[in-house]
A = this chain, B = another copy of it.
């Protein structure tokens, strides 16, 4: 593949932009760390959270390292017989994982330092406290958009048209981290939350965030795990997956129209470059003015970064993509811009369904007056409806791509359009991650204020925390939508890969448009239909596992806290310290153990389906996951968010206020919603993407060995491995049951 000198320079410019982004992040970090850490007591509490975060990250990364090595070997093997590709893919995998891991590590170690500084600043100034929280989030945001781009651009410059083969490894590295940080982290964060609440507020009758409760630190660490490291890893994966998918699709033109292929491959990298710049601007302009609510400047930041992005798309598309006669730049511009619009619509929809002041949350709060059951049914019904609304929006985005390229265009164009929509949607990722990560900083600040009794900061941190809940809920919708668009793009590139495999040119260059057009995944073929059904079942299975995992892990925490109350003299009286680090460790270990079964499923089931049902059945399977995954993820996230805010609405005085029966009902709704919105829902984002990436990775192999005895045998072996994993996780739950029974007997005896 030949680049023009303009393209060469443009790619270097992208790299420069990425490097600038990294430096901007480091600058923000330095600024945050330069702030005052407050009193001795505040530091001591923050220190415990920092230690907890370190313990969490340490154990998490040690486990990841183990899987990293195994999977790197597997990815190396998947790249054979081309040695160069095999080695590069394995290395890129580790690089991709490193990028995502570093983002999470730097982000989380900063947020757990920013929290106490935010509290300290809140004693005197809301504006400055807000600034610290948001800028701390900005560091994670900038790392998310820059590290992946830097890696991808370098890989591309080295490998050119073979780059997608290598970048698949890179994207899968992001997936591995996302599995750990988002799914494992999701189990961790909610188990800590539910465990702390059950044993503290309900059992021991002590307030939330009471320092005597050993699970409180774990809970505070958990906030950072879910909304900083988890969200960053999720969007990092979406970004890489969409990029690779768009490049694979563009490659389909390589044989017939190499110039068009070059422009189409490079264009997504330029779009990401724009994203870095607009993220810097978007984060930079967030500043509280006067008496306004902190949500205002955040919304300004999002809005301006969106507007500037669109202007930049226009210029870059017209003057770069317009350079070749064969490419209609207007199509590329509209496709990318539609992504920005999609993000805005999804953001608005999510707010409508999850924030007070709109009918859904109001009706949930109102129905709490007639009890828990009506609260839950209303929330569930609203959640179901919100899934439909989000899905229709995504359908509209796909249909828009059809309209841009014309109904008679070949599928590659339309799918490339969809992936550009995804790239456009993720352009504001820097700001989105920043506003999501802002959440746990504010939440932690609230916790520290409570624990250290910093009365004068209370009002300000309460304002910040409320806004944090808003941003956390609203950004979830974008994470899901981006996952779905990424998965649709991956599904498109899966077809491209299969077409290449079928035409006997499993390398890269010769995937002709023709071969792709000949390809068909007919729903009327029974095995494809069966694949579709099985794929549809996966999100249900996965959610069932993660919801249960939260319960089991929370139970282990409860047991440990009970033990500490029993065995540490003076703890209840406040004269002794709880062993918080131990709870963090138990929670991390348990969450990781709980990750084994769903993790195995996510990685191995697509391979098993490919082995048994062939590439056609696997195609149906991947489509099934997308359909059901989207619906279920939005249902879980939005109903959870709506229950949360319905409770807060009542706490703010509506329908009887705090302590009323309506409030009690709403609290239950919130507790049910917690694992929905923070564990099971976000986990589905990862499942949708991971399974599609795995499908893409094994596509050439499934095509190559079709009909032979190898695949069925491999399928059996993998099925046995999955079976053992699932049985192990069932045995685990047997243990929990025994402990449960033992505790019960003990209680009955006493």
* Bound-state Cα–Cα, A376 to B198, Å: 15
- A672 interface residue (CB < 8 Å to B): yes
- A159 interface residue (CB < 8 Å to B): no
A522: which of B398, B520, B533, B675 is its contact (CB, 8 Å)? B520
- A128 interface residue (CB < 8 Å to B): no
Binary interface encoding of chain A residues 536-565 relative to chain B, with 1 for a CB under 8 A from any of its CBs, else 0: 110011011101101100000000000000
Chain B nearest CB, measured from A660 CB (Å)? 13
* Chain B residues whose C-beta falls within 8 Å of the C-beta of A523 in the assembled complex: 521-523, 528, 532, 619-620, 623
- A225 interface residue (CB < 8 Å to B): no
Given A376-B376, A536-B391, decide whether A521 and B519 contact each other with a Cβ distance below 8 A: no
- A293 interface residue (CB < 8 Å to B): no
A411: which of B378, B488, B526, B534 is its contact (CB, 8 Å)? B526
Tally of A interface residues using CB under 8 Å: 81
Whether B395 contacts A533 by the Cβ 8 Å rule is yes
Given A372-B668, A537-B392, A631-B537, decide whether A675 and B532 contact each other with a Cβ distance below 8 A: no
Whether B524 contacts A519 by the Cβ 8 Å rule is yes
Whether A533 contacts B366 by the Cβ 8 Å rule is no
Please provide the chain A residues from 389 to 435 with a CB less than 8 Å away from any CB of chain B in the complex.
Answer: 391-392, 394-395, 398-399, 401-402, 407, 411, 414-415, 418
Copies of this chain in its oligomeric complex: 2
* Stretch in contact with the other chain, from A46-54, A115-123, A274-282, A379-387: A379-387
- A507 interface residue (CB < 8 Å to B): no
Chain B nearest CB, measured from A742 CB (Å)? 13
Chain B nearest CB, measured from A338 CB (Å)? 14
Binary interface encoding of chain A residues 714-729 relative to chain B, with 1 for a CB under 8 A from any of its CBs, else 0: 0000000000000000
* Chain B residues whose C-beta falls within 8 Å of the C-beta of A530 in the assembled complex: 395, 398-399, 402
* Chain B residues whose C-beta falls within 8 Å of the C-beta of A532 in the assembled complex: 523, 623, 627
- Best-surrounded residue of A398, A526, A619, A628 (most CB of chain B within 10 A): A526
* Bound-state Cα–Cα, A16 to B532, Å: 42
Whether B551 contacts A377 by the Cβ 8 Å rule is yes
Residue of B nearest to A534 (CB): B395
- A452 interface residue (CB < 8 Å to B): no
A540: which of B384, B545, B547 is its contact (CB, 8 Å)? B384
- A388 interface residue (CB < 8 Å to B): yes
Chain B nearest CB, measured from A678 CB (Å)? 13
Whether B415 contacts A544 by the Cβ 8 Å rule is no
* Chain B residues whose C-beta falls within 8 Å of the C-beta of A740 in the assembled complex: 366
Whether A391 contacts B537 by the Cβ 8 Å rule is yes
Whether B675 contacts A377 by the Cβ 8 Å rule is yes
* Chain B residues whose C-beta falls within 8 Å of the C-beta of A492 in the assembled complex: 524
Chain B nearest CB, measured from A380 CB (Å)? 7
Chain B nearest CB, measured from A737 CB (Å)? 8
- Best-surrounded residue of A523, A544, A631 (most CB of chain B within 10 A): A523
* Chain B residues whose C-beta falls within 8 Å of the C-beta of A624 in the assembled complex: 627
A547: which of B377, B520, B524 is its contact (CB, 8 Å)? B377
* Bound-state Cα–Cα, A550 to B385, Å: 16
* Bound-state Cα–Cα, A544 to B550, Å: 26
* Chain B residues whose C-beta falls within 8 Å of the C-beta of A382 in the assembled complex: 544
Whether B378 contacts A540 by the Cβ 8 Å rule is no
Given A520-B520, A740-B366, decide whether A388 and B627 contact each other with a Cβ distance below 8 A: no
Enumerate the 6 nearest inter-chain pairs by beta-carbon distance, A residue then B residue, closest first.
Answer: A384-B544, A373-B671, A520-B522, A521-B523, A536-B627, A385-B544
